[in-house]
Structure 1
Amino acid sequence: MLHYLLIPLFILLTLTNAAAQLTDYKVYFGVTARSPEQLVLRQWRQNGQTRFLLLDPRTLETSVADLPPEGVRPRPWSVLEMQLANTAYGRAMHAEKQRDSQLQDAGISRADTTEQGFSLTIDLCPSSKPLTRSVFEAIIQAFEPSEKPIPVTIPITGVWMARHQPDLAYLKNLASRGDLAITWVNHSYHHRFDPRRPLPVNFLLEPNTSLADEVLLNEQAMIQNGLLPSVFFRFPGLVSDKAVFDAVLDFGLLPIGSDAWLAKKQQPKQGSFVLIHANGNEPLGIADFVRLIRQKAASIKNKTWLLYELPRSVANGRGVQ
C-alpha cells in the first residue's frame, strides 16, 4: 500500500528491531487451564518463550504470562462470548454493541456514575512536539497524597512511541516510582489524519487502511517498549463506523469514547471519561484541566473528587454508557 511506503526510516528500523525479539504475534482466543480462569487474547514468541496476553474477565485487568501448551485451552470467540456473558467483560461487550453505529464517539464514554470523580484519559497521538510534562506534574501536585499512585489512562500510538523515547521513559519512570498507575490503551499505530478529508473517509476509515496492522502492530510496539496493553481501544479522532467498530470488537477489545473532551468545552460528570491531549497539540484542553483541578483543590484534599482507574470503573459500572 502506498501509505506504508511513507513510513519514516527510523520507524521501520524500530519495527525491524522489535520483530527480531518478538515474533509470531497473533490473535489467540482461549482460557487458561489454571484457576481462576483467565481469558487468552494474544499469543507470541519472545526471548525463546511462548507468551500470552491474558484478561481477567471479572476485573478487566490484563497480564502477560509464559505458559506451556497444556496451560491454555483454545476456544472459538462465539463460545467465549456466551461463557463470559455474566462477567464484567461480558456486560461491557454487550454495552459496546449498543453503541457501534455512531460515526463519532462510539464506545463506552462514561462508566460508574456513582463515582465522586472521573477517569482521566490523556491521548498521545503522533506529534512533532514534546510531551506536555507540566500536566503530569500538575496532576501529581494536586492529587498527592490523596491518591498514590494516581490512576490515569494513556491511549498511545506507535508513531508517537517511536519518535518520543525520552518522553516515554519519563512516563514509565513516573509509574515505576509510584507516582502514577497507568492504564495503557491502544490508540492505533499510525493514527493517520488528513484535514482535507471528510470524517467518513478519514482516520481509520481512510481507504486502504489495514485495521489488523493498526491494532496488532501497536500492541507489539507497546509490549516491546515495556508497556502492558489493556483490553481497551480508542479510535483516532473518536471516529469509526459500524464495520470498523465491530472489527475492533472481534479483536476482543473494548472501545472507549469520551463524554468530556475538555478542549471542546464538555464538562465532566460523575464517572466521565475525560479527554485531554498531552502531545503538545492541545494547549487549551491542558489549560482547562489544570484550571479545573485548581478549582477542585479542597474536594481533592477531602477525597470527594478523585481520579479512578478505567478498568475498575468499567468493571463496576453496570450502567456503562
Structure 2
Amino acid sequence: MNKSLLKYLLAILIIGGLQQRAAAQANYLKIKNYKTFYGWAHHAPQDWMILRQFENEGKTYYLLVNPQTLVTKIDEPNFYQVKPMSITEARDFFKSTPYQKALRKAEKQSLALQDAGIESGIPKETGISLTADLCPSHRPLDRRIFTDIFTEFQKVERPAPIALSVTGVWMRQHPQDLEWLKQMQAKHEIYITWINHSFNHRVSLKAPLKENFLLEPGTDMNYEILETEKAMLKNGLLPSVFFRFPGLVSDQQLVYKLTDYGLIPIGTDAWLAKGQQPQAGSIVLIHGNGNEPTGVNDFIKLLQSEAGSIAKKQWLLYDLRESVEEEFEGSN
C-alpha cells in the first residue's frame, strides 16, 4: 500500500472514530463559549495546533489540527500537554509544516479580487480534487453528483473523497439533504471534507465586487466564521482548516483576517460552469445546491469521459487535505 493511500485510510479511521467518540461524549446542541484559542498540544508522538476552544455540559473541548496532514479533530485538553500561544506565536512555532506553508502561500496570493488562495493541488497526479459549494438555496441538493461519484468509483476508490463548502443557512434550510450526505459518508460511499463557506453568504445583484459578498460594509467576520463552525459541530460535522470565500471574492485585508483564524482560503482553477477545463491536480468547483445544473452536467460528462481511466486507477479523486499537504511537504 502506498504512503498516500495509507495516510488517507488512517485519516478516515481517526476522524470516524473521533466523531463517534465526540458524539457519545457531548451533545453539541449545548455548545457554549465557542471561541478562537491558539497554542501547542502534544500527545506523543504528535504535535497538534489548537485552533478553537468551547464548552459542553461542563467539559472543555479543543478543535485541533495536525499541521503535517491538515487533519482536524475534537478532543479534551486533559489528553495533552498544552501551551497557549497567540496566533502569531503558534504560526511561528509550526512554520516549517505543510499547514503553515499553505497559509503563507494563500497570503502571497491575496491581492486578487477574485479567486485568492490555493487554486490547485498535486500537479504531478492524474486526477482532481472535487469541491462542491452548498450556498443558500431554495432548491434541493443535486444528489446526482454524489450518486454518480459512488457509481464510477466504488470499485477503485471507496470511499471517494469530496470537499463540500457549506454555509450555515444551507444547513438550517436543508436538514434532510444534510442527513442524506451524512448517511452516504457513514456507509463509506463518499468521504467528505467540510469547508467553511460563511454563515449567511450574502450577495447583492447591484453592488460592485469590492463591496459585495464578505466585502459588504458591516460584515461581521467573527460571526460568519465561528457560527458556521458551531453549526457544523451541532450537525455532527467536523470543521476543516479550509474556507471558501462566497463568490470567490476577497481582498488582501480579508485574506489576512481569515488566516488569523487559522483558515486556508481555497479557490479553484476549474469552475466548470464557467467553461474552465480541469488539468492534472486541479481543484474543481461545482455547485451542489441545485442552482448550477450546467456545472453538474459538465462534471458528470467528465466522469463518463474518464470512465476507462478510472477503472484502471489512472484518473482518481484526491482528498483536498492530502493534495495541499503533498504540495507543500518539503517546500520552503
TM-score, normalised to structure 2, is 0.89
1:24 aligns to 2:33 (yes or no): yes
* Equivalent pair of 2:166/2:196 in contact (CA under 8 Å): yes
SS at structure 2 position matched to 1:292: helix
How many Å separate the matches in 2 of 1:317 and 1:114? 10
* Equivalent pair of 1:112/1:318 in contact (CA under 8 Å): no
Letter in 1 for 2:36: V
Give runs of aligned pairs for residues 307-318 of structure 1, distance below 5 A: 307-318=317-328
How far did 1:124 drift? 0.2
SS at structure 2 position matched to 1:240: coil
Distance 1:312 1:70, change over 3 A: closer
* Equivalent pair of 2:129/2:320 in contact (CA under 8 Å): yes
What is the aligned partner in structure 1 of residue 228 from structure 2? 218
What is the aligned partner in structure 2 of residue 236 from structure 1? 246
- What do you get for the CA RMSD once the two structures are aligned? 1.5
Deviation string 1:159-201 (CA, Å, 9 cap, x unpaired) is: 0000000000000000001001100000000000111111111
Deviation string 1:122-160 (CA, Å, 9 cap, x unpaired) is: 110000000001121111111111100000000000000
SS at structure 2 position matched to 1:86: coil
What is the aligned partner in structure 2 of residue 261 from structure 1? 271
Distance 1:62 1:20, change over 3 A: closer
How far did 1:71 drift? 4.0
1:195 aligns to 2:195 (yes or no): no
SS at structure 2 position matched to 1:317: helix
Distance 1:164 1:20, change over 3 A: closer
Deviation string 1:44-94 (CA, Å, 9 cap, x unpaired) is: 001321000000000010000012397421012222222212111121122
How many Å separate the matches in 1 of 2:302 and 2:57? 46
How many Å separate the matches in 2 of 1:103 and 1:183? 25
What is the aligned partner in structure 2 of residue 95 from structure 1? 105
* Equivalent pair of 1:21/1:46 in contact (CA under 8 Å): yes
Q: Which runs of 5+ in 2 are unaligned?
A: 1-26
Higher deviation after alignment, 26-35 or 115-124: 26-35
SS at structure 1 position matched to 2:242: strand
How many Å separate the matches in 1 of 2:58 and 2:189? 33
How many Å separate the matches in 2 of 1:208 and 1:97? 23
How far did 1:238 drift? 0.3
How many Å separate the matches in 2 of 1:52 and 1:81? 17
Give runs of aligned pairs for residues 43-192 of structure 1, distance below 5 A: 43-68=53-78, 71-192=81-202
SS at structure 2 position matched to 1:96: helix
* Equivalent pair of 1:263/1:288 in contact (CA under 8 Å): yes
How far did 1:299 drift? 0.4
How far did 1:20 drift? 5.9
Percent identity between matched residues is 44
Letter in 1 for 2:287: H
Letter in 1 for 2:32: T
SS at structure 1 position matched to 2:328: coil
Letter in 1 for 2:292: E
How many Å separate the matches in 2 of 1:118 and 1:303? 13
How many Å separate the matches in 1 of 2:161 and 2:296? 17
SS at structure 2 position matched to 1:222: helix
Say which of 257, 262, 266 aligns to 1:252.
Answer: 262
Moved over 2 A (4+): 68-72
How many Å separate the matches in 1 of 2:93 and 2:56? 30
Deviation string 1:5-64 (CA, Å, 9 cap, x unpaired) is: xxxxxxxxxxxxx99600000000001132211000000001321000000000010000
How many Å separate the matches in 1 of 2:243 and 2:287? 16
* Equivalent pair of 2:43/2:79 in contact (CA under 8 Å): no
Say which of 278, 303, 306 aligns to 1:296.
Answer: 306
Distance 1:225 1:269, change over 3 A: same
Q: Which runs of 5+ in 1 are unaligned?
A: 1-17
How many Å separate the matches in 2 of 1:42 and 1:261? 32
* Equivalent pair of 1:156/1:185 in contact (CA under 8 Å): yes
How many Å separate the matches in 2 of 1:297 and 1:201? 43
Distance 1:206 1:165, change over 3 A: same
* Equivalent pair of 1:50/1:68 in contact (CA under 8 Å): no
